[in-house]
Amino acid sequence: MSNTAQTPWQDIEPLLSVQQLSKFYAPGKGCGDVSFDLYPGEVLGIVGESGSGKSTLLNSLSARLAPDAGKVIYRSEQFGELDLYAGEESLRRQLMRSEWGIVHQHAADGLRMNVSAGANIGERLMAIGERHYGDIRARAEQWLQAVEIDSNRIDDKPAQFSGGMQQRLQIARNLVTHPRLIFMDEPTGGLDVSVQARLLDLLRTLVAQLGLSVIIVTHDLAVARLLAHRLMVMRRGEVVESGLTDQVLDDPQHPYTQLLVSSILQN
Amino acid sequence: MTIMIDVRGVEKSFTLHNQGGASFSVLEGVQLQVVAGECVVLHGQSGAGKSTLLKALYANYAVSSGSIVLRDGNQVVDITTALPRRILALRERTVGYVSQFLRVIPRIPTLQVVMQPLLDLGEDEAVCEAKARDLLSRLNVPERLWSLSPSTFSGGEQQRVNIARGFIVDYPILLLDEPTASLDAANRQVVVQLINEAKVRGAAVVGIFHDEDVREAVADRLVDIRAL
């Protein structure tokens, strides 16, 4: 048992490479010197309390907030290897419509509330060039069903949906274009516990079935444990610990992670 | 004999930063080799570090020093240094871990909970279901419960669902953390059979068992873990 050969593992290239990324609004406000690789099919959880820089990092990673320093390299299906902030704005927007998805904490930020559920889903398809009305409607119906919304609600507006349904619609809208990388910001944040379980189960199933890569920000360690393969723990803008999800949660090394884990109420 | 698990010089200490930085050493200089088809039972008093070692073998705990090399087909992997995704791949096909506790999302039915690990490997659904049904029957989980989520089951029923889930994939390495605790004699016997079947197909098994009858029925070797 000598040579620790890992050849097949070295062949796969990361989908996203983040190199010494920093974005500060003020000292301690933002995120600093973050580096990691995200591989295809991997779900990375970013955890930490409010104000720890999780959302700033997510915004910088998803091309919505230019960093002060550092690089985000994305290996695109259409465009090859891209240095996100070195390229054109139009390119980033195109990625966001096609290869990427963003699930916001508040569904209203990710949906158009005054157009129908079907149009919310169809809009993403039209943005990548689909024109056939019948096809678009059929795909919208399929995706409503996939996220467990009755397809006869296709002409209703999201405003008439419950919070959990809105969140599922937002997920359908994102997944319809078969993105490779999804960014999620507290996707179960404002939902009742009973609704959360259903959404988590759905998310986990879809992520596994579609082989999606996901970066998910959450302050809920139970959500992180359920969805994430590995975790980064953030505090005051810095990554203080990272690794395999259950190892970080069951055998935390850093004082802050220990505090975070020991603060959960057991039931 | 193929060595499946090779533990060398493992040390593990815990530092509780939020409790005055108290630090204590649990494992020191642990050496352990387990070959295919062998069942090693970790033996020692409560608190001696048996569970800690088992969790380290699953990479659930990080060791302070030393190496833990597991065989994965024709490769070997040191899980103390491997990337998370390498460890997750090992857990998918190679290393199974069964504790007494079931952790599931509330609304998934029992049959699905049991067959999921095998489904994830791309196995045919009918094959997975047949195997899940067989395991649940053998473990005396009443068929009327199979379509229900185990979250409302009794402790003993949940435990048996968890064992069925742990044995659905023929893992080459099996780690068993008191899977028989609080099971009745008949069900303990079923678990003994499952472990012995795993050994026959060549699995390397490391377990912790408090029941002497189980220990005697499955162990090829006892390894003493002494409290430091």
Q: Please indicate if any CB of chain A lies within 8 Å of the CB of B112.
A: no
Put simply, the chain A residues between 188 and 247 with a CB less than 8 A from any chain B CB are 197-198, 200-201, 204, 208, 226, 229-230, 243-247
**Residue A246 structure tokens:** 């259950």
Q: Check residue A10 and give its pLDDT.
A: 60
Query: What number is the average pLDDT over the span A195-213?
Result: 86
Would you say residue A97 has pLDDT above 90? no
Q: Please indicate if any CB of chain B lies within 8 Å of the CB of A4.
A: yes
b (16+ CB within 10 A) / e for A38-69: bbbbbbbbbbbeeebbbbbbbbbbbbeeebee
Q: Check residue A4 and give its pLDDT.
A: 41
Would you say residue A266 has pLDDT above 80? no
Closest of B197, B77, B93, B101 to residue B157, by C-alpha: B101
Q: What is the pLDDT of residues B41-96, one digit of tens each?
A: 999 998 899 999 999 999 999 999 999 999 999 999 999 999 999 999 999 999 99
Residues in chain B within 8 Å Cβ distance of A258: 16-18
The rounded distance, in Å, linking the Cα atoms of B27 and B66 is 11
Say yes or no: ipTM exceeds 0.90: yes
Q: Please indicate if any CB of chain B lies within 8 Å of the CB of A50.
A: no
Between B175 and A146, the higher pLDDT residue: B175
Q: Would you call A139 exposed, middle or buried from its count of C-beta atoms within 10 A (0-12, 13-18, 19+)? A: buried
Query: What number is the average pLDDT over the span A83-109?
Result: 90
Q: Pairing relation of β-strands A238-244 and B39-43?
A: unpaired
**Are A264 and A221 spatial neighbours (Cβ–Cβ below 8 Å)?**
yes
Residues paired with residue A80 on neighbouring β-strands, in sequence order? A76
Q: Which residue of B has its CA nearest to A42?
A: B85
**Residue A84 structure tokens:** 């996100």
Q: Check residue B191 and give its pLDDT.
A: 97
Query: What number is the average pLDDT over the span A162-169?
Result: 92
The rounded distance, in Å, linking the Cα atoms of A105 and A186 is 5
Backbone angles phi, psi at B40, to 5 degrees: -105, 130
The rounded distance, in Å, linking the Cα atoms of B212 and A221 is 38
Would you say residue A146 has pLDDT above 50? yes
Q: Check residue A200 and give its pLDDT.
A: 86
Q: Which residue of B has its CA nearest to A14?
A: B85
Residue B142 DSSP SS3? coil
DSSP annotation of A229: S
| Region of A178 on the Ramachandran plot (φ > 0 left; ψ -120 to 50 alpha; else beta) | left
Helices A133-146 and A163-175 cross at an angle (nearest 10°) of 130
Q: Check residue B9 and give its pLDDT.
A: 97
Q: Pairing relation of β-strands B22-35 and B204-208?
A: unpaired
Q: Please indicate if any CB of chain B lies within 8 Å of the CB of A162.
A: no
A4 and B77: CB-CB below 8 Å?
Answer: yes
Q: CA-based diameter of chain A, in Å?
A: 63
DSSP annotation of A265: P
Would you say residue A231 has pLDDT above 80? yes
Q: Scanning the structure block, which residue is given the tokens 């190892």?
A: A247
Q: Please indicate if any CB of chain A lies within 8 Å of the CB of B69.
A: yes
CA distance, residue B33 to nearest chain A CA (Å) = 11
**Are A70 and A34 spatial neighbours (Cβ–Cβ below 8 Å)?**
yes
Q: Residues near A161 by Cβ (< 8 Å), separated by ≥ 6?
A: A117, A149, A153, A169
Query: What number is the average pLDDT over the span A13-18?
Result: 94
Of A226, A245, A253, the CB nearest to B105: A226
The rounded distance, in Å, linking the Cα atoms of A51 and A209 is 33
**Residue A235 structure tokens:** 């505090």
pTM summary value? 0.91
Q: Which residue of B has its CA nearest to A201?
A: B105
Which DSSP string corresponds to B32-87?
A: EEEETT-EEEEE--TTSSHHHHHHHHTTSS--SEEEEEEEETTEEEETTTS-HHHH
Q: Cα(first)–Cα(last) distance of chain A, in Å?
A: 44
B87 and A42: CB-CB below 8 Å?
Answer: no
Residues paired with residue A101 on neighbouring β-strands, in sequence order? A182
Closest of B1, B10, B119 to residue B64, by C-alpha: B10
Would you say residue A77 has pLDDT above 70? yes
* Mean pLDDT of chain A, nearest integer: 90
Would you say residue B107 has pLDDT above 90? no
DSSP annotation of B172: S
Residue A44 CA: distances (Å) to CA of A54, B3, B18, B164: 12, 33, 26, 29
Residues in chain B within 8 Å Cβ distance of A208: 120
Confidence of residue A265 (pLDDT cuts 50, 70, 90): low
Closest of B200, B118, B210 to residue B164, by C-alpha: B118
Of A2, A198, A247, the CB nearest to B60: A247
| In chain B, alpha helices (H) | 50-57, 84-93, 110-119, 125-138, 155-166, 185-200, 212-218
DSSP annotation of A111: S
Residues in chain B within 8 Å Cβ distance of A226: 105
Q: What is the pLDDT of residues A42-67, one digit of tens each?
A: 999 999 988 889 999 999 999 889 99
The rounded distance, in Å, linking the Cα atoms of A185 and A59 is 9
Give the Cβ contact number of residue A266 at 10 Å: 3
Q: Check residue A12 and give its pLDDT.
A: 84
Q: What is the pLDDT of residues A168-195, one digit of tens each?
A: 999 999 999 999 999 999 998 878 877 8
Q: Pairing relation of β-strands B204-208 and B221-224?
A: unpaired
Q: Check residue A199 and give its pLDDT.
A: 83
Structural element, H or E, at residue A240: strand A238-244
Query: What number is the average pLDDT over the span B139-155?
Result: 94
Q: Check residue A165 and give its pLDDT.
A: 93
CA distance, residue A186 to nearest chain B CA (Å) = 18
Of A5, A197, A259, the CB nearest to B18: A259
